[in-house]
Structures are given as C-alpha cells and as structure tokens.
Amino acid sequence: MHNYPAWRIWLVFVALVLGLLLALPNFFGDAPALQLSRNDRTAVGEAGQQQALATLQSKNVPVESSYLEEDRLVLRFHDVDAQLKARDAVQEALGREYLPALSHVPRTPAWMRALSLQPMSLGLDLRGGVYFLYEVDVKGAVTQLLAGMERDYRQLLRNERIPFTGIAHDNVDTVRITLRDGDEVDRVAALLRRQDVNSQIDVNSLGEGGSVTVKLAPAQISQRQDFAIQQNITTLRNRVDELGVTEPIVTRQGKDRIVVQLPGVQDPNEALRVLGATATLEFRLVDDQNDPLLADQNKRAPLGTRLYHDRSGRPVLLKREVIASGEQLTDASSGFNQGEPAVYVTLDARGAAQMLDATRENLGKPMAVVFIEKKRVAEGQPCNGTRVATECTTEEVISVATIRGVFISNFQITGVMANEARELALLLRAGSLAAPLYIVEQRTIGPSLGQDNVERGFKALVIGLIGMFIFLVLYYRAFGLVACVVLLSNMVLLVALMSLLQAALSLPGIAGIVLTIGMAADANVLIFERIREELRNGNSPHAAINAGFEKAFSAIADSNVTTLIAGIVLFTFGTGPVRGFAVTLCLGILTSLFTAILGSRAYIQLIWGRQRRLASLPI
C-alpha cells in the first residue's frame, strides 16, 4: 500500500463533477428559434410575449417553448418549417413593432438557463451565422478631414485675432479662407504653413480682402483613406467584442471593403444596427437670444446659429461652435440617475479643457447634446422629408440642460431610453467610425453545411477514440482501461472549459481536439512504460507506481509546455481558424496535464493503491 494525499483524489472528483455539470448542456442539442426585439429598442415584456404567442396560435404555428432573455423574446420550434412560418406571421401581424431574427438556441432545460449554463459556441463553418460585406466611404473620410481642418482654422484665426468673412471646404481636397483685410494673407499663410507642413497653400490678395487656399497633397489623401479603413476595422472589432460574439472575423477586402463574419449571432438585426452605425455626439450652447419657432417657419437660422429639432419635433437654435464632440470621448457607460436612464461619458484632455472654459463662462445658460447618425438608405427613399441618393444623416437634440456648475471631463447625458443608453454607450466606447460604412452584401449562412461538418468531425473523433481504446486495452490490459477513462475525463473537462469560456469550436478546433486526445494518450503511455520498466528492474508494484509517475513527470511537462508555448503564439498572432485551433490546443494541453498526472494517479490509487499486498500489476 502506498500513500497518496486524499485531497488530490477529492480535487479530481470535484473537477469531474463540475466538468460534467458544465458540459451537460452540450448533450441537449439546439433547435430552430425566432428572436423578437422591439423596433423602439425597449425590452419585450410579458405582454409582448402573450401578444406574440396569440398571433402564432391564430396562424396555427406550434411553439415548442418561449421565454424572455434580457430584452428580447425567444420562441423555440420543433423544426425549420415552423420557424419560417412563425417569422412570416410575425412580420405580417407585428412587423411595425418587432424585429424577428432567425437563430438556433439550445434545448437546455429552464434550470440550466437559470444557472447560466450554456453549450460551447460553434464557429461560422459549423453553426452558421451572418456574413456582412461593408464598403468604406473613403471620400467621406477626406471630407471629415477637411471639416476638421476648417474647425482648426477658425480657432486659429480667432486666437490670433485675425478677422475673416468665411471658411469653407469643397468636399474634395481644398479649404478656402476668405479674409476681410488683404494685408493679412501673408501672415495667415505663414501660420497655416507652420500648422500644415505637407499641404499646398496658395495666396490671393486681389480686391478689398484676400483669400488663402489650402489644398491637400495626394499623399495626404491616400494616407487619410488608409487610416479610415484601418480605424474602421479596429472600431468594428471593438463593437463585435462589445456584442459578445465569439471568434469573429473582421478583415479588409480589396481597396475599400471590410468583411465581417459573426458565427452564431443571437440577434442579426442588433448586429447590423450596431456595426454599421456612424453615431457621435456634439455638445453645443443653446442660442436663447433668438426665437427658434420663427427660424423654423422661415427655414433659416440667424447668423452664427444652426437650427435643430428635438425628438418631439420642437425646433432648437444652437450655436455653431462645438464645445466637444464624440471624437474627444475616451469612455462611456450606461446607468441610471435618479431612476432615469443616463450615459456617463469621459472626455480627453483637450475636450475637458474646452468643456471647462464653456461651462465656466456660461453658468446658468442652457447646453444641448446633439445625436448624429449616418446611414445608407435605398435610392429615392425619403430622408428628413426629402428624397436622397444613398446617404442619410440624422441630427437631433436628445438633451437640453442648464449649466448649474463648472465640470471638466466627467459628466452624464440624460433624455434617452434604457436600451438606447446602452447602445449609445457601446458605440461611443467602441470608438466612432473614421468614415461612414455602407453595407454591400448581407448573407445568413444556414447551419445545414455546418451540421454535416459537425457529424463528420464527430465521426472522425469517435473512430479515433475507439481505435485508441482498443490499442490501450490490448497493450496495457487493466491499466489501459484506466487510460480510456482518463481520456474520457479529459474530453469532459475540455468541453466544460470551452462551454465556460464560450470559446467557439470550428473545424480547425475539432482538429485541435483530436490532437489533444493523442497527446493525452501519449502522457499515459509514458507513465505506463515507466511503471513497466520499474517492474522489470525488480521493484515492488507500489514502488513501481510511485517511480513511474515521478520519473515520467518531467518528460510529460516538457513536451506539453513547449506545445503550449506554440499554441499561445498561434493564438496571439493568428486570426480566424488559426485562433480556433490554438484555443482548443491550449485548453486541451491544460486538461491533459491535469487528467494524466492527477487523474490517472487518483484512479490507480482507488483501484490498486489501497491493497497492502500486491503481487503484480495488470499492465
């Protein structure tokens, strides 16, 4: 009889029990489902659930089960035909209120959902998902650069106390500054040359005044366009991470396009709404000297102001100068202030300084928050009451509040709904798009091909396991049976970890699991061969077991640690399928080390370690 700490046996037992619990949701499979979210982005309550169920019942569409999940309603069906009929019925009867999204949800019981137990995610090649192809408005990126130059020039001329009559850009490559005094053109040109070294600056001093023209160099335009695409890729990745989509693929395609693949998305409508949104904020002072109603009737704002409307349609006059914009936000989160939804924002140093000056000089005056969103609409569709080609920009005042005190970088925005506050905080926190995105293609990839891949991968895994089990039992006899149990335990723990971490399983991931099982078997082979060698050297069975595990440990650890390093490198520098393979490989190495060293020893201890007199070992 050899001594082995009881706490290690209990550790293996507890790990296996937890592993079985976490892996259990994967055995229930999934079912076709319909997820309903409201168009106004508020939560779907019990009343909405009853309304949807009554609609489907009137259309003779059977519903397997229904439940509320976060802010949406999930309807589960027995087959795809019922799912499609339910979508058509909802669109016909409730299309104005709800957005239906086809998806697949686990068949897990309610008690598992209450414990937040979920099956592991499947990649786009196994589960299906949504494929988006976006086109970046590179011309719009240059226009944004020119607009920023225009704002900077206004501020520069004010600081230098140089009078001017206008500053405008042509949306192509030029900003033109018109001065009151023609004698100032050389001074202005010198200031601009110091500020924009690479731009081409031309001077015209004819007439009473004069003008200075700043033209972007071709290299500046190309650099700005490349920056816009790279910044949009980064922003889209951040937004995908905020959505909680696992193993997404966001890559550049061609000169001005971006591909986004979202495997197993829960709500394609939400993904489409959030990913392509070009949303930002502007903080402006309210003009309380002029009548906004009169300006709205005349369709003309007084000099130095702009006419906006709030969400109820009331006109609001705001000053042209922007105190701070969404580009200067460094953080944003949603919450509640005195029971009212709010967005808490943090400005960078430049925005904080501007906000400090504005609030200090305008105590007791109103300040407004303008929400700006750009989106593409079908050609000829109305935008703000007029027919447009493709791009639609919506600007509305979401909040007007009196400045009660001086504040700098941290403050809050109210006047939004709860879901809207959460989505706005997500967009601001993930970063604004450097240029508008227009969706070119959207495809929903069904899971039929994925199901075939899952079945083939599972079949290959089972065949490999059966062959390995036969070899282990024939070659190592009873100890081979222990190795089979250890491999099954390793599988359970690996599936449990992937379910807990919601790591997406793809076809390369299945290959990683097969490789992991082979490495786990190799660790047991090393241990068993060491035990057989000790027995051949004349050691007792108990001594051979102890020596076998101790001497094999270094070889097992070295081989697994080196492979783990390779897996970490693949995960760090790889993308898409490569990362999927690396995830399963790294997790599999950890579970293999645990089951081969601690699990095998615990099983052998329970079977042979407690026998005082042991003449031989069935190995």
pLDDT per residue over 337-366, tens digit each? 777 777 887 887 778 888 888 888 888 888
As a whole number, mean pLDDT of residues 178-193 equals: 82
* The CATH homologous superfamily of the domain defined by 29-107: ACT domain (3.30.70.260)
- Among the listed ranges 54-58, 373-377, 469-473, 533-537, which one has the minimum average pLDDT value? 373-377
Q: Where are the domains of the chain?
A: 6-24+448-609, 29-107, 139-219, 280-415
Q: In this model, does residue 470 exceed pLDDT 50?
A: yes
Convert the pLDDT of each residue in 146-169 to its tens digit: 887 887 888 788 888 888 888 888
- Res 389: pLDDT: 45
Residue 217 CA to residue 199 CA, distance in Å, equals 6
Which carries the bigger pLDDT value, residue 204 or residue 521? 521
Q: In this model, does residue 523 exceed pLDDT 80?
A: yes
Q: In this model, does residue 413 exceed pLDDT 70?
A: yes
Convert the pLDDT of each residue in 429-461 to its tens digit: 656 666 777 778 777 666 555 567 677 777 887
Highest averaged pLDDT of the listed ranges 414-423, 442-451, 496-505, 572-581: 496-505
Q: Provide the whole-model pTM.
A: 0.58
Q: In this model, does residue 121 exceed pLDDT 60?
A: yes
Show Cβ contacts of residue 308 under 8 Å, excluding neighbours closer than 6 positions: 315, 316, 317, 318, 368, 370, 395, 396, 397
- Res 68: pLDDT: 86
- Res 387: pLDDT: 45
What percent of the chain shows pLDDT beyond 90? 2
One fold for 139-219 and 280-415: yes
- Res 538: pLDDT: 82
CA dihedral 477, 479, 483, 489 (to 10 degrees): 120
Domain 280-415 fold is Gyrase A; domain 2 (3.30.1360)
Convert the pLDDT of each residue in 241-295 to its tens digit: 656 555 567 888 877 888 888 776 655 666 776 676 656 778 889 988 888 888 8
- Res 433: pLDDT: 67
Which carries the bigger pLDDT value, residue 55 or residue 411? 55
Domain 6-24+448-609 fold is Multidrug efflux transporter AcrB transmembrane fold (1.20.1640)
Convert the pLDDT of each residue in 291-326 to its tens digit: 888 888 888 888 888 899 887 888 999 988 888 877
Mutual orientation of helices 218-243 and 418-430 as an angle, nearest 10°? 130
Residue 390 CA to residue 387 CA, distance in Å, equals 9
- Res 317: pLDDT: 92
What percent of the chain shows pLDDT beyond 70? 84
List Cα–Cα distances, 203 to 153, 167, 189, in angstroms.
15, 14, 7
CATH architecture of 139-219: 2-Layer Sandwich (3.30)
Which carries the bigger pLDDT value, residue 188 or residue 126? 188
